[in-house]
Structure 1
Amino acid sequence: MKLTKILTKKLTSFWLLSLVAVAFVFLLCAVMGFTQLTYTFQQQKVAELETMLAADYQQHGNNQFSTWLPPLLTAYNAVDFSLSQGSQLVYQFHRSKADTPSSSLTLYQTQLSHGKLSMTITLPPPFSLHDLGWHELIMLVIGFISIGIFVRFGYGWYSRELDGIEQLALRSKLILDGHLKQAADMPTNGKPRMINRAISQLLAELDDARKERGRLDQFIRKDTFLDKQTQIGNPIFFQNRLDGLSHNQKMIVHGVLMLIEFDDVDLVEDQYGESGVKTMLSLTTQAITAALVQYEDSIFARRSYSQLAIVVPQLSQVEADQLAQRILKICLALPFSGIGNPDNFLHLGCAFFKIADLQVQLVEEAEMALRAAQLQRVNNWFMYDKGALDEQIAKGSVRWRSFIENALVSKRFFTLQQVIVDSDNQILHYEIFSRARDLHGNDVRATLFIPMANKCGLMPQIERQMLEQVLFRLMSENTSTYSINLSLYSLTSRAFVRWLQSTLLEHRPLAARLIFEVSEDIIVKNQKNTSLLKTLDMLRKMGAKLAVDHVGQYVVGTHYIQEYHFDLVKLHRSIVRRVHQRSENQLFIRSLIGGLYRAEVKVIAEGVECFEEWQTLKILGVSAAQGEFLGQRSEV
């Protein structure tokens, strides 16, 4: 852009200089022509005087010169005049000094009457005898004003024409920098208009192609991970998400697994056909989906032809019992008429799981609970009794609020970090995780206190303490880059956003070493939340990078990645888990990376647990990864 403006100014200056030079040449030629014309006219007058002198000498001799020659010489403005015959002076005229012009004079010498007479006359320059009158001055002023107006009009026209070139250069720079929306929003009335219109049309087609690519990507994900009849997760989706909640086949969070099974579905199909079964399943899934909206990270999928599966993490056993009763009540309230045995049609089996429970054992316990519910021969639900539960899970909300508030006051929250490495196994940055300690010095897992902190509205205070530790302790010790997760409650909290903005303004160089991670679920569900989008835009303008994590956890389009200018994309562990054995997950990653082609976005995988997963991810084009295989979490 700077080069374009410099060239524009140079071209404009050259045009003005050329115009001035042409005007100067024309003016110089006019002056020279006027001078030459006056000299020629003076020479003609001198020649006429010579002719008159010669004629008079032949007729009257040298006796009549004094009678008619003085007035004529006065009319000629002659300064000196002498007429001689041989060495004898015939007539001489001399003008007074007062009337003599001060400019240079012109001397004419000639022979008359075949050499009998010689004449010498001195005349002033012919152009010095004329003074400009007021009408001539007016004409000159009008002429110069006309020239100035013409030059100003030409300069304006030239500038307008060149402005179009600069506009094209600016749009081209925006396109090369990846700011396609800003380039498309620029006015297109600049010249050359044909090129502007062509660029606008190409940008519109490119935007439509990107949206179509996003729709294709979403279609691939739907076709791969969603059940075609019910539009909820299929068995592949269910197994992926369940693997994402486990590590080495052991659960990493607590929660509940529910299996819902319909009996006599074949009878319904025989009586109402496939459309009847589809309607029944569609009504059921819609009702259950509405009931699960309030539970974050819940999993709902169709496990088999007549069986649905629900996984709700971060749920206590009391809440799990209440949810099971509510789901059964909702399903039984649906208008299923004409079923063989309405009182023994729907059964629900539940299995509560804790951290470190085996995944295989969990599924077996849920199936055993489902069989126990079916043996009762009535629409019912059954919870598998595991015995003693984790005391931390059993805490009530009041006790959790008291614990979190005390931990905030006494600053008992501390940080863990995990390394993120690129495809060459070089450290890219570190991700920060939070932990808490109770009064006995025992660590409290983030999976336990974060849901409770969200319910109590204390998540912004926790994340503020984490940021303070990163900014004022970790970053002062090294030059590494750190990524920090931010919740929706923090991003939409005015107090937290004001504090974060003022802190980043005060420590502007540190902002470039920060990466703020936001969950894909938050972005997709809050695309119309202006306060959230303004906060993300503010963080980006401060110099920090933005990352969207948990990508692939839900089946949604990925057009938002480039629309909101994210710098990093983190694949959910459910997509990464056993990726070398699952072609569906590989297809999703290829589609995602293909959609981000030419965009300056790095794709990072989280939860890498073995060499085969990491090798497969590198072959697919993933830029970096984190996980137990690449480095465990450590306290800092």
Structure 2
Amino acid sequence: MSLYKQLWFSIVLFMITSFLGSFFFSCVSAKNYLEEQLYHKNIDNASALALSLSTATQDRLSMELLVNTQFDLGHYQFISLIDTDGNTIAVQFDDRDYSEAPRWLINLFPINIKPGLANISNGWQQVGVLTLSSHVRFAYKQLWSNVKQLFYYFSLISLIFGVLGSVFLRWLTKPLHQAVSQAAAIGDRRFITTKEPRTLEFKAVIRSLNKLSKHVQKMLDDESGKLEKLIKRTQKDEVSGLYNREPLLGRLTSFLHKQNEYAHGALILIRIVDLFHLNQKEGRQAIDSLLVDFGDTLKEACASRSSQGLAGRLNGSDFLVILPACDTKAESAGRDISERLLCVCRDRGLNNVILLSSCTAYYSGENTSEVLTRLDNGLQDAAQNEAPAYIFIDSQAPTSSKIGEHDWLNYLKTALAERRFSMKALPVYSVQEKLLHWESPLQLRHEDGSDLDAAAFMPHISRLGLSSQLDRMVVEMAIDILKQNPKPLAIHLSASTLTHPALMGEISELIQQNSQLSKYLNIEIPEHGVFQNIDGLRAFCQLLSSLDCKIGINHSGQEIKHIAKVHDLGLHYVKIDQSFVQDIHNTPAYQVYLRGLCTILHSIGLQVIAEGVCSSEEWKALNTLGIDGGAGSFFSLRKETDEG
């Protein structure tokens, strides 16, 4: 039984008990009072009527008429006049049944009134005896009126106390509901903290729960910090602080397989000519210091040009810079970075350092080795020139032949207006070989009837500020698909969604209008957008908290140090970026990293799904690391079976 019901039950029980006690004592007191007052009234009435009879004509008829008149005028139960010989002169009696009070009250509290007696005389001689009694019905009427007033009073008091008690209890138990909500969130592995109430007992409970949440958050910070250090040791070059060859090329491969705005970008390859002789001539310490400055300069250049930009050291003398979403500015970016590095050399007085640079654009679907070969050929061409040399290698986008000279802005606006977008269906499996959901990357139907993958148009969608319109359309398309065929469906929203509260509200309203389908809907946000707009994600999760849809983070793994920020948001799963999954069975360092990452994510109730699984060897290795599911080309052969 709830506290509110217990409160009302207690108030009603108390008031009924009080009412019954008050009712009994009040009725007994009123009964005794009425009996006494009516007895005195009977005596007074009898004396007054006897005086009238004594002074009036005392023949039998006159006396009888006077008694009858008095009975008719007054409210008497009976009047009796008897002479001295015991003969009845006059008698009147009212035996009618009146309904002044309920029968149970009359039976429970019978009112017995003593009659009034008076002698009638003629001078000094007694003529007769007068006996009368007022009618008891008026006494019962007054008694019943008192009972009703008492009942109304107690009912009103009960209602007032009930309402006031409910309000007070609601205020008093607000911290209790707060504690219950926090405990439920902790049970769901969302370790939230709440404000401590003023009530001492509840304050102790909330304080304990907050202490637990903070302890878990500290544990997450510590563990993610350890993993961050581990991945830095395995991924980063000790001297320059840049990525090593394997993780850098893994990230490049991941970008080449993406279907978002980062599927296109710029690549810059820089080579220090004859580094071995420079070490001998200038000294190892001076060159190491130069490499440190190179690393800092490249990291600054990457951060200023692309939110996902990164740089690495392929070998002792070669540096590779990846600038996603900068394919249209590849030449200017390459030239700017080359000049920055030359400035570093001049600032250190190392004018004899020779740099060769080549730059090109990469596009989704290209092969990693082909792109690197293109850059190497560029360096060979640069070596033929007088140093320092810079070469830009033009590379046409795969879709240029289809789009031709179309203006991308008009082209995409027309496509949005005509809703020429569609969704593919790619399966995501659990380690138990069960289908988790279908991923739904976008396609754009070209005018010639062919389909463009998202990698071809998403960079332009982002660059032209059309992400909000497309995200809204994606949700509408997903709902239309679910209406026709309800099945678990994952849609990808852009990171910019989290920076537009109005758009988040519109998406929430769209899902709310089709709430019966929300349990099939999975919404994914890229990791780089999540940690840059954590408050936006929190607001988005709160908007969708009353619905059954799931929210996940995709392309994850690079921002492990921030993972503690999402422990209280109510997320459902995280998808690990392909760069950590590629060739995982032959990469012990990444195995240790993924095992630790899975442990952390599982501790806060999140599923872990691997992206870009390409082989059975990778899938088997992932199964031993704690992964909950996987997606990628390895599962494409099962698609037709599941759809059937």
- With normalisation by structure 1, the TM-score equals 0.68
Question: Kindly tell me: are residues 468 and 196 of structure 1, through their superposed partners in 2, closer, same or farther at Cα, counting changes over 3 Å?
Answer: closer
Deviation for aligned residue 1:289:
2.5
Distance of 2:426 and 2:545 partners within structure 1: 23
Letter in 2 for 1:285: L
User: Shift of residue 558 of structure 1?
Assistant: 1.4
How far, CA to CA, are the matches of 1:157 and 1:535 in structure 2?
Answer: 37
Distance in 2 of aligned mates of 1:335 and 1:534: 48
Tell me, in whole angstroms, the C-alpha distance in 1 between the residues paired with 2:31 and 2:370. 115
State yes or no: 1:195 paired with 2:201: yes
**Quick one: distance in 2 between partners of 1:588 and 1:166?**
45
Task: Decide whether aligned partners of structure 1 residues 424 and 308 sit closer, same or farther in structure 2, where only a CA change above 3 A counts.
Answer: same
**Secondary structure at 1:480's aligned position in 2?**
coil
| Partner in structure 2 of residue 311 of structure 1 | 322
Q: Report how far residue 420 of structure 1 moved.
A: 1.7
2:483 maps to a residue whose letter is S
- Change beyond 3 A, Cα 1:401–1:158: closer
CA distance, structure 2, for counterparts of residue 195 and residue 242 of structure 1: 57
In the alignment, which residue of structure 2 is the partner of 1:401?
409
Q: Is 1:289 the counterpart of 2:302 in the alignment?
A: yes
Structure 1, unaligned runs of 5 or more: 37-91, 107-123, 132-142
**Cα distance change of structure 1 residues 279 and 510 upon mapping to structure 2, 3 Å threshold:** same
Question: Once the two structures are aligned, what percentage of the paired residues are identical?
Answer: 18
Of 607, 629, 634, the match for 1:602: 607
Once the two structures are TM-superposed, the CA of residue 574 in structure 1 deviates from its matched residue by 1.3
Q: Is the 8 A contact 1:178 1:599 kept in 2?
A: no
Asked whether 1:593 is paired with 2:598, we answer yes
Q: 2:353 aligns with which of 344, 347, 356?
A: 344
Match of 1:515 among 518, 522, 535: 522
Task: Give the alignment partner of residue 612 of structure 1, picking from 610, 613, 617.
Answer: 617
Q: Which of the residues 247, 253, 267 maps onto 1:257?
A: 267
- Alignment counterpart, residue 209 of structure 1, candidates 193, 215, 220: 215
Matches within 5 A, 1:474-623: 474-489=481-496, 500=507, 503-527=510-534, 534=539, 537-541=542-546, 543-554=548-559, 556-597=561-602, 599-623=604-628
Change (3 A) 1:335 1:343: closer
The yes-or-no answer on 1:220 pairing with 2:226 is yes
SS at match of 1:457: coil
Give the C-alpha shift of residue 388 in structure 1.
7.5
Report Cα offsets for 1:512-545 as digits up to 9, x if no partner. Answer: 33222211111222335x5x76555434555533
| Cα distance per residue 1:443-495 (max 9 Å; x no partner) | 323212111222233344445554444333x3233221222111245565688
Cα contact 1:241–1:553 (8 A) shared by 2:
no
Q: Cα gap change, 1:254/1:244 in structure 2, threshold over 3 Å: closer, same or farther?
A: same
Aligned to 1:455: 463
> Which amino acid letter does the alignment assign opposite residue 324 of structure 1?
G
What is the letter of the counterpart of residue 326 of structure 1?
D
Q: 1: distance between equivalents of 2:613 and 2:168?
A: 58
Q: Classify the secondary structure of the residue corresponding to 1:333.
A: helix
Which stretch shifts more, 360-369 or 443-452?
360-369
List per-residue Cα deviations over 1:155-210 (Å, max 9, x = no partner): 89977886587345413431243179997445612xxx343222232233234334
Establish whether residue 333 from structure 1 lines up as the match of residue 346 from structure 2: no
Map Cα deviations across residues 85-138 of structure 1 (whole Å, 9 max, x no partner): xxxxxxx9xxx999xxxx5489xxxxxxxxxxxxxxxxx9xxx9xx9xxxxxxx
Q: Rate the CA distance shift 1:171–1:492 in 2: closer, same or farther, 3 A.
A: closer
CA shift in 2, pair 1:183/1:10, >3 Å: farther
CA apart distance, 1:557? 1.2
Q: How far off its partner does 1:25 sit?
A: 5.1
Q: 1:348 to 1:159 in 2, by over 3 A?
A: same
The equivalent of 1:177 in structure 2 is 184
Q: CA RMSD for the aligned pairs?
A: 5.5
What's the counterpart of residue 624 of structure 1?
629
Q: Which one-letter code corresponds to 1:359 in the other structure? A: T
Q: Which amino acid aligns with 2:229?
A: D
* Secondary structure class of the residue paired with 1:558: helix
Verify: 1:10 aligned to 2:6, yes or no. Answer: yes
**Against the structure 1 CA distance between its residues 396 and 23, is the aligned structure 2 distance closer, same or farther, given a 3 Å change threshold?**
same
Task: Tell me if 1:422 matches 2:430.
Answer: yes
Q: Equivalent residues in 2 for 1:110-129 (5 A)?
A: none
8 A contact 2:611–2:631 mirrored in 1 = yes
Q: Displacement of 1:328 after TM fit?
A: 0.8
Instruction: Supply the AA of the counterpart residue of 1:195.
Output: E
State the distance in 2 between where 1:438 and 1:218 align: 45
In structure 2, the CA distance between the partners of 1:270 and 1:582, relative to structure 1 (3 Å rule), is: closer
Give the structure 1 partner of residue 389 of structure 2: 380
State the distance in 1 between where 2:167 and 2:395 align: 81
Distance 1:15 1:583, change over 3 A: farther
Q: Which residue of 2 aligns with 1:41?
A: none
Q: Secondary structure at the match of 1:233?
A: coil
Distance 2:345 2:225 in 1: 32
Q: Check conservation: 2:357, 2:389, Cα contact below 8 A.
A: yes
- The structural deviation recorded for 1:379 is 3.0
1:436 counterpart residue number: 444
The Cα shift of 1:632 comes to 6.0
Cα distance in 2 for partners of 1:18, 1:536 equals 46
Provide, for residues 63-83 of structure 1, a one-character-per-residue CA deviation record: whole Å limited to 9, x for no partner.
xxxxxxxxxxxxxxxxxxxxx
- Relative distance call for 1:300 and 1:24 in structure 2 (3 A) is same
Q: Is the 8 A contact 2:363 2:398 kept in 1?
A: no
- TM-fit CA distance, 1:327: 0.8
Q: Deviations over 1:275-296 (max 9, x none)?
A: x457524542343234433xx5
Q: Of Structure 1 and Structure 2, which has the larger fraction of its residues in helix?
A: 2
Question: Unpaired segments of 5 or more residues in structure 2?
Answer: 33-85, 93-110, 115-131, 140-149
Q: Report deviation, 1:325.
A: 0.6
